[in-house]
Amino acid sequence: MPPRLSLFTARSVPFRTKPTVPQKRFAPAPSLQHRAASDDATSKNQSPKTTPLHPQAKGPTMDQLPHVTEEAVAVDKAMGNTPPDVEQGTPVQEILKRDKDAQDKAPRIMKQELQSESNSSNNKSPSGTRSFSTAARRNTAEMEMVSSLGGSGDHLVQFQDTRVVGLEYPDAGFGHKFGLPDLKPLGKAVNFKRRYDPVVEQVTRSLMRDGKLSRAQKNMQFILDALRTSSAPPTNKDLISPLPLQSLPLSPVAYLTAIIDSVAPLVKIRQQRGLLGGGASMPIPVPLRLRQRRRTAIQWILTAAEGRREDKLAERVAKELLGVAEGRSSAWEKRARIHKLAISARANVKIAASGRRTRTKAIRGK
């Protein structure tokens, strides 16, 4: 099919260009001459003009600070106090006393005055003697009492062989006017080196890992804060505390002590071999001291806290302590189990004691 447009028969299309618009041209600006303000526009040979100064203007060294003495005088006048006398200076005699070189060059009259003053000072009484009496006297009430008893009112204290005579007080003893304090001997359990409560310190040491005591103390602080902000524990007959249960959160240290002492076991079970014959061991209940009981309870609480889902150790231990206070902790079951086993094996204590005596006799017989 032939194309519709024929290239040979097409007409030429006229093409017109866009008319040009004359552009505006700007003449270059003449160069500006920079002239200082001190230059004269009429003549360059004249000297530059200066700005006139104010009649009250002062230079950098014209208004200096006053002297210390003058400043003190101005301050005293402003405060209404008596200002020091500035006009009065130091006497020449005082300067000559301090300066020996000036004494040689001083006038003859001043030398004679200084010499007369030194001679008068040498003629004074020697040091160590006083013109007044230093004897100790009794009080007025005591003097009146002595005079009423027939003694002389002018009774002085005397010393005989380094002993004081005249200071006997019947109520306080010899040499004491007031009674002595009652100094009782301190008990063996008194220890002033402890900074924290024994329970708090023991729990803190149990919380410490890798010797990081500061971190354990921070965890202990979090635990005490949790006990303080918690609600009062419900009625629990196993929780022993000298304070009412409703007031335990007000004293977190007492709250912690009550929890640990309540769940702490009284005894431990020791397995002793050789008493029953053969290889069987005999369970013997052994009583624990206070610190041992608390340590066992703390270990139970920390073991139970490891199974909780809280992220932080301090939070897990705090939740477990509150669980012990509410009676829903596994530490109570361990305590009941040990006490039950100790009750069932309480007869073994006598057998163990008799067996120990028999063994001692056998050893001595050999």
Q: What is the predicted pLDDT for the residue at 354? A: 77
CA dist 362 and 366 (Å) reads 6
**Domains by residue range for the chain, with CATH:** 198-355 (1.10.455.10)
CA dist 154 and 144 (Å) reads 10
CA dist 174 and 183 (Å) reads 18
Q: What is the predicted pLDDT for the residue at 94? A: 76
Q: What is the predicted pLDDT for the residue at 363? A: 56
Q: What is the predicted pLDDT for the residue at 107? A: 85
Q: What is the predicted pLDDT for the residue at 313? A: 95
CA dist 336 and 332 (Å) reads 6
What residue ranges of the chain have pLDDT lower than 50? Answer: 40, 132, 136, 138, 153-155, 162
**Which pTM was predicted?**
0.48
The neighbouring-strand residues paired with 286 are 268
Residue 189 in tokens: 């359990």
If 0-12 CB within 10 Å is exposed, 13-18 middle and 19+ buried, where does residue 68 land? exposed
Q: What is the predicted pLDDT for the residue at 138? A: 47
* Type of residue numbered 136: A
- CA-based nearest residue to 93, from 83, 102, 82: 102
